Structures are given as structure tokens and as C-alpha cells.
Homo-oligomer: A and B are copies of this chain.
């Protein structure tokens, strides 16, 4: 039933049914949080045995480190570098393994670029009259918050099924030398769930950039986070950059935050050796080294990429039913009504939901008033402003499946109410 084709009378009737249903939900006094991409308890339990290491066997010496408990190894335990090299498809010499947060590594990379410049910078970015970043959107709000804090102007780029709108990216990057970088979550993108095509990766690697020190911030947050046994595959961008003669163009990031523990995982970055050498020097002023015990804990628990892939299947077994449940409620409540569309990702942490233009904030507000918190509408766009006010990020991972069902039913009711009200005012 295409709602946009109903008469005003039919719309009014449907609206009053929905408003009754909404009031019933509101009366329940719900208190549900669907706002962040947090793993659920069952996922966290999957890695608890990791915490036995290296205590259980009292192993504090590795092939390449005399005592992991002591100071040193600013770029991480060599065994952990090797593990992340496998995850990111690079060599261990191209990796720095840090503490628990890849977001921190991204923030620090921006901070260093602003203060000192990156490898090959003619000047620190912060000395320039203007610095701009390309921001494929909807995207990750925390990337945009870093830009906002540092006064980096954000340019919204449309996200298409195969990645950012590359015609626009290429045109802007080649014209404007104040554009210093682009934020990418290339695999199971936050929140759209799509994976960049080989063509997009190649164009990013090879495009002409007016800024000689342009950097792709390649946040591969969901690199092994598949939901199906037919996972998306992503072209290796560091290789592509090297082939295109732009070896220093990319900073890659990943972490085990959603593999082991969000607070106590291990994060890493990878880049060309030129980049890594400079960063290591700067990093050596900031710290004497990362938490190598936690790094060894991860290495002992997983051993290698195959161990991680095995582990991720257990995550998928927990998450897939939640994603399926969300999709089935959306289908049954909103399917064919011509007022919404949503993503059906093969991995990652989010479902991206689009309302009719101008409805998203009202939906999030209405759901909030009935006790269900969604990520604020607009959060997935630079400056928190969705130009069409239509995107809502659904984070199905944290709530138990019963709560998730309730939250989604409520959301669907809100979507339909707000859409009808909109149609009635046209």
C-alpha cells in the first residue's frame, strides 16, 4: 500500500490508528538506547578467555621483546605488528600498534598534521589560512567531530552504493589545494553498510590532488566484521596508492574494539614506511611505548588472521538475528509504503534508514519522547546537519532482541505518523 497515493481522508484515518498505537507504546515507559554501535554482553563474553593471557603461562618474553612488561617499543610489540599487518594486508614495517583506541590514532594524526604537517608537507596544516576535508555522508559522526574541533572545514560528499561520489571528489581534490584529506570507512561503511568498489579505491589512490600532502583517512573499522558467509571484499588501498605512484597518500586504521573489547582492545595504523618513520619519531616524544601486555594478550588469543576470522563468526552468529529482526520489522511495517528505504548490509554495525525528506529529526524526537533514544538525526552529516533531514542511523547490536523488536516497532510507527503528517501538510 503506497501511502503517498492515499486520499487525505484515508491518511487521516490511518494517522489516528497510528497515534493510538504510539500512545500505547508511550504508556509503557520504555527506556531503550539504540544510539551507539556498542557490542552486546554476549559479544563481550566471547573474548573473556583472552584475559587469562599472558598471566596463565607467565610468558613475558617473546621472540622479539626481552620483557613486555617494561618500557619500550614505541611502535608496538613486533608480534602484534605482524597480526595487524595480516589484518590490513600490509607489511609489519608499515604498521604502528597503539593502545585501545583507533579514534585516538586518527585524532592524533590530525593533531600532528595541524601542528607539524605530515610526511612531505610544505607547511603544518594549522599554519594555512584554511584546511578542508571531504566527508562522504552519511558518515561517522566522530570523524566529523575531530574536524570540527580543529576548525577543519568539512565538505559533504554524497555516498553512493559503491562509495563516495568520485566525480565530485576528483574535481574538488584536484581544484582546491586547501583540501587536505578525505574520511573513509570503506568497508561496511558507518552507517550505510556499503563497501567501496575496486574502481572507487583505484580512483582515490590515483586521482590528482592539488594538495601535495593530501591524506586518505582509511578507517577500516569493520575489516573483518562480516554478517554473512559471502562477505564483501575491499581492494587494498595502500597497494593501489603504491601502484599509482602515490605511496604516501593513505593512513589506514583498524582496531579490535569490536573484535575483543571496545574499551580494552588494541588499535593500529598502517601507512608507507616514509609516513611510519616520521610518525614513530613524533610518537617517541609522546610515549615510551604502548601497553604491550595487552598486545601480547591479543596475539596469544588469536595467533593470526585465521584465528580472528574464526572468532568473528561467533560475533556474526549473535548479530545476524538482530539485523534480520530489524529488517523484517521494517519490511512488514514499512515495506511498499513508499515512505522509507534502508540498507541491508553484509557486515558492520549499522542499518542506515532514510525517511521522506524533512522527516528524520521529527521521527527521532518522537521516538525519544516514547523512551527510545536513536542517534540524533543529522549526526551522520558534517556539522550535524543532514541537508535533506532524512537519515537515521539504526544500531541494532547492543539491545537484547526483545528490546530491539519493541524499539523498531515504535520507530516504524513514528516514521509512518511523521510521514503522514508531512503528506497532509503538502
Contact = CB atoms under 8 A, between A and B. Distances in A.
A240 B43 CA distance: 48
Contacts of A114: 115
Interface residues of A, number: 52
**Which of A103, A111, A264, A291 has the largest number of chain B CB atoms within 10 A?**
A264
Given A48-B55, A54-B51, A126-B126, A263 B292 contact: yes
A74 to B, nearest CB: 10
A263 B291 contact: yes
Interface in A64-84: 67-73
A100 interface: yes
A41 B72 CA distance: 14
Copies of this chain per assembly: 2
A41 B67 contact: yes
B70 A101 contact: no
Contacts of A146: 285-286
Given A54-B51, A150-B115, A285-B107, A69 B264 contact: yes
A99 B263 contact: no
A264 B293 contact: yes
B68 A263 contact: yes
A290 B70 contact: no
Interface in A6-41: 36, 38-39, 41
A424 interface: no
Contacts of A278: none
Closest 4 CB pairs of A and B: A51-B55, A264-B293, A107-B286, A71-B262
16 contacts: A44-B67, A48-B58, A68-B263, A69-B264, A71-B263, A99-B99, A99-B291, A101-B287, A104-B287, A108-B286, A115-B126, A263-B291, A264-B292, A291-B291, A291-B294, A294-B294
